[in-house]
Amino acid sequence: MPSSFVLSGLVAHTPTKDRFQIMEPGYLLCLDGQVGGLFERLPQAYAGLPCYDFPRALILPGLCDAHLHAPQYAYRGTGMDLQLLDWLNRITFPQESLYADALHALHAYEPFADALKNSFTTRAAVFATSHTPATMTLMRLLERSGLCCYVGKVSMDRNAPESLLSAPGADARADLEAWLGDALTGFERTRPILTPRFAPSCSDALLALLGELRKAYRLPVQSHLSENLDEVAWVRRLFAQDSCYAGVYDRFGLLRGEDVVMAHGVHPTPEEEALLREAGTLIAHCPASNTNLASGIAPVRRYLDEGVRVCLGTDIAGGHDLSMFRAIADAVQVSKLRSHFTHGAEKPLTLSEAFYLATKGAAGFFGPVGSFETGREFDALVLDDSALASPLPLSAPERIERAVYLDRELVLLHKFVRGQRIPLGNGKEGASP
């Protein structure tokens, strides 16, 4: 596969959240891993490049999953009648304890990495567990997948089974630095991310250590925030000195910057919302998880109106489905319910807004990605939607909407990350490129 080439077909993306830009046909230029331009007619200067024509396909930006848990993939779709804290104690913590066994980790992470490679996702922020060998196995598998991922060894030192807790005291630093020593070398696409599980599972000392490491190593951060009412009340009791949940992370230097993502943000206080806006924190909205675990519906319309950064995540396995198209559809659906319960005060999301959340919404955190604007990293999906053909001709916007809602009927022909084609193992990928 050459490093510079052209894809042509129906090209669509959301440079702004308010509408799709659609070209049919469009010529999408990749120059050494970056978008070189999107044209209605290919400029003569590029006429010599290989041009791969997909007259019946959709060409869309790769999707960004800003929050999911690799060890939870194995049991996704179970325990879905529980709320967050019971689900953590009864299912998640016992399951994650199994990753102390390196062989179990390999057996569980191989199918996960394979599924993510063959999904619509090109960028992902992934929680592992607290076990270093298993986390390194996951990092190697994801590196081999060709996707660009952040992977976090989970930090927790209280309120969980012993087998999941970080080493106490001085050893916590040595433990994390030993992981970082391995995780920061030898990877092109896979980067470590600091991962305090959530405030209730971290002592002040552990959060302070993570804040120090963030500064010393310039590392990104991922965690959970204001997901569930019982959890929020618990944080208020555990951290009585902090005026809001986000304030806990902020006190330790773990909230501010475009490289911080916090999952959920379902129940922010007004003060917390203002803090998130000011801090530039990215909220990963996880609609399926928030429904399955009865957490609620995040105020995404308000976040957008107020300038809080928002993107989307599947939150496997609070969310049961790895498909980011499904997450887009879920985001629209739950926003309609929220609109209903706010008596129309918070308007539902449009499809282009939800698509933006799954793409350019995560730009910054994942780097210059998420659209086909010139200079962005070239992450693209080529999708055969011919199974969705209708007796009546479909407009381009209709085809895009049906692709999002009926993603099971799509065939992913090709997937590109930073201009490199991912060799898909779904048995369905197209012939060359």
List residues binding ligand GUN (CB under 6 A): 69, 84, 88, 92, 197-198, 224, 227, 289, 315, 318
Closest residue to Fe ion, judged by C-beta, is: 315
User: Read out DSSP for 368-415?
Assistant: S-SS--TTSB--EEEEE-GGG--SSPPPHHHHHHHHHHTGGG-EEEEE
Tokens in use for 199? Answer: 């405030």
Give the Cα separation of 264 and 341 in Å (integer): 19
Nearest approach, Cβ of residue 203 and ligand GUN (Å): 15
Minimum CB distance to Fe ion, residue 197 (Å): 9
- Among ligand GUN, Fe ion, none, the one that 198 touches (CB under a kind-dependent 5 to 8 A) is ligand GUN
CB of 263 to Fe ion, least distance (A): 5
> Is 65 or 315 the residue whose CB approaches Fe ion more closely?
315
d(CA 352, CA 14): 7
Give backbone dihedrals phi and psi of 209, rounded to 5 degrees, phi first. -60, -45
Residue 166 binds which entry of ligand GUN, Fe ion, none, with Cβ cut-offs from 5 to 8 Å by kind?
A: none
96 touches Fe ion by CB under 5 A: no
- When the beta carbons of 66 and 381 are compared against Fe ion, the nearer one is 66
Nearest approach, Cβ of residue 158 and ligand GUN (Å): 13
The residue type found at 374 is T
Q: Is-contact 127 69, C-beta < 8 A?
A: yes
CA distance 432 to 329: 31
Provide, rounded to whole angstroms, the least separation between the CB of residue 98 and ligand GUN.
14
> H or E segment at 178?
helix 170-183
User: Which CB sits closer to ligand GUN, 26 or 319?
Assistant: 319
- Binding mask of the shown chain, residues 286 to 325, with x at each position contacting Fe ion by CB under 5 A: -----------------------------x----------
Say how many C-beta atoms besides its own lie within 10 A of residue 313's C-beta: 31
Which of residues 193 and 417 has its CB atom nearest to Fe ion in the complex? 193
**C-alpha–C-alpha distance, residues 433 and 284, integer Å:** 33
At residue 313's C-alpha, the angle toward residues 312 and 317, to 5°, is 155
Interacting partner of 131 out of Fe ion, ligand GUN, none (Cβ under 5 to 8 A depending on kind): none
Rounding to the nearest 10 degrees, give the CA dihedral for residues 120, 122, 126, 128: 90
Report what 197 binds from ligand GUN, Fe ion, none; CB cut-off 5-8 Å by kind. Answer: ligand GUN
Smallest distance from the beta carbon of 69 to Fe ion, in angstroms? 6
Binding mask 248-277 for Fe ion (x = CB under 5 A): ---------------x--------------
**Nearer of residues 88 and 412 to ligand GUN, judged by Cβ:** 88
> Can you tell me the distance from the alpha carbon of 146 to that of 163, in angstroms, rounded to the nearest whole number?
32
For 255, what's the count of Cα atoms within 13 Å in the CB-facing half-sphere? 22
Closest-approach residue to ligand GUN (CB): 318
Among ligand GUN, Fe ion, none, the one that 88 touches (CB under a kind-dependent 5 to 8 A) is: ligand GUN
Tokens of 152: 């976090």
CB of 87 to ligand GUN, least distance (A): 8
Q: Cα(419)–Cα(31) distance, rounded to whole angstroms?
A: 8
Closest approach of ligand GUN to the CB of residue 338, in Å: 19
Work out how close the CB of 433 gets to Fe ion at its nearest, in angstroms, rounded to a whole number. Answer: 36
Cα 323 to the center of its chain, rounded Å:
11
- Closer CB to Fe ion, 134 or 263, in the complex: 263
Shortest CB 68 distance to Fe ion, Å: 7
Q: Which string of DSSP letters, residue by residue, matches 311-358?
A: EE---BTTB----HHHHHHHHHHHHHHHHHHTTTSSPPPPHHHHHHHH
How many residues touch Fe ion under the rule CB under 5 A: the total is: 2
CA 198 distance to own-chain centroid:
17
| 276-to-124, 254, 312, 362 alpha-carbon distances in Å | 22, 12, 16, 15
Nearest to 377 by CA among 115, 189, 127: 189
Which is closer to Fe ion, CB of 96 or CB of 143? 96
Nearer to ligand GUN, 79 or 318 (CB): 318
92 binds, among Fe ion, ligand GUN, none (CB under 5 to 8 A by kind): ligand GUN
Where on the chain is the footprint of Fe ion (CB under 5 A)?
Answer: 263, 315
